[in-house]
């Protein structure tokens, strides 16, 4: 009986430094991985910014995305301001999400403005591209 306790205590003593070393290595790696993901997001943003000039129409932007087989969705108001045109989002990554959300997705967001006056945001082929940005969005939150 005493031998079992001695083996158990010895095992715990040996396990603690190994667990601490693994935790330390993981903690050092996490910021580096976050920096790599952010560099990827910025490079992807630069690629879209080079290919799509501000002032293009929604029709031209969406044709470019379809030509590259990029899926996209439309959403109102990335900037949370009163607007009359939907924005387009194409997903480029995922981040860790808080427990109360299902996902933390990262998109390239294409912000549009409409020349017309509408009561509610809508998407028209003639909408004009005004901004391209990396857009983080928590989704499926409580």
Which tens digits make up the pLDDT trace of 40-62?
Answer: 999 999 999 999 999 999 999 99
Whether the pLDDT of residue 27 is over 80: the answer is no
Q: What is the pLDDT of residue 115?
A: 76
Q: What is the pLDDT of residue 19?
A: 53
Q: What is the pTM of this model?
A: 0.77
CB 114 within 8 A of CB 77: no
Q: State both tokens at 66.
A: 């379809």
């Amino acid at each position: 009986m005493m031998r079992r306790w001695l083996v158990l205590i010895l095992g715990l003593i040996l396990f603690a430094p190994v667990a601490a070393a693994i935790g330390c290595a993981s903690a050092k790696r996490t910021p580096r991985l976050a920096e790599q993901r952010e560099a990827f997001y910025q490079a992807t943003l630069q690629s879209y910014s080079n290919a799509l000039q501000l002032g293009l129409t929604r029709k031209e932007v969406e044709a470019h995305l379809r030509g590259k087989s990029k899926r996209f969705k439309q959403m109102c108001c990335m900037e949370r301001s009163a607007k009359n045109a939907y924005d387009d989002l194409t997903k480029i990554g995922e981040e860790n999400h808080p427990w109360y959300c299902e996902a933390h997705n990262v998109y390239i967001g294409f912000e549009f403005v409409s020349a017309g006056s509408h009561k509610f945001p809508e998407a028209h082929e003639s909408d004009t591209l005004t901004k391209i940005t990396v857009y983080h969005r928590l989704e499926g939150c409580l």
